[in-house]
Amino acid sequence: MRSRYTAFVVDDADYLLDTWHPTKRPPELSLDDDLSWRRLDVLATEGGGPFDTTGVVEFEAFYRGPDGRGSLHERSRFVKQGREWLYVDGTALASS
């Protein structure tokens, strides 16, 4: 999760696509250059340990954009394939 957040910060769409589960991966990804990601708070986790094959991360990521400050609050699902964790999907939640 933290590495994917960092990819948003540094505008690395290739890394985001590479860490997306192939069954859910979009064919391309366009990032919003007007957003500046500022902070990631991991609020809760389920699974995701060294012997798990699935995990869930609830997070809130804060940004600044042309319209001011905002955040993305999401509950994301991951699966482990081999030694890599892949993003499956996420559900947006109301920001705090």
Domain range summary for the chain, segments of one domain joined by +: 2-93
CATH 3.10.450.50 fits 2-93, yes or no: yes
The predicted model gives 10-27 an average pLDDT of: 97
Residue 95 has what pLDDT? 75
pTM, to two decimals: 0.91
Q: Give the residue-averaged pLDDT of 82-93.
A: 96
Q: Write down the pLDDT at residue 96.
A: 63
| pLDDT of res. 91 | 97
**pLDDT tens, position by position, 25-80:** 999 999 999 999 999 999 999 999 999 999 999 999 999 999 999 999 999 999 99
Look at residue 35 in the predicted model and tell me its pLDDT: 95
Kindly tell me the burial class for residue 31, based on how many C-beta atoms sit within 10 Å of its own C-beta (0-12, 13-18, 19 or more). Answer: middle
pLDDT of residue 21: 98
Q: What single DSSP character describes residue 20?
A: B
Looking at 10-84, list the stretches that DSSP marks H as alpha helix, in order from N- to C-terminal side: 13-18
The span from the CA of 60 to the CA of 4, in Å, is 13
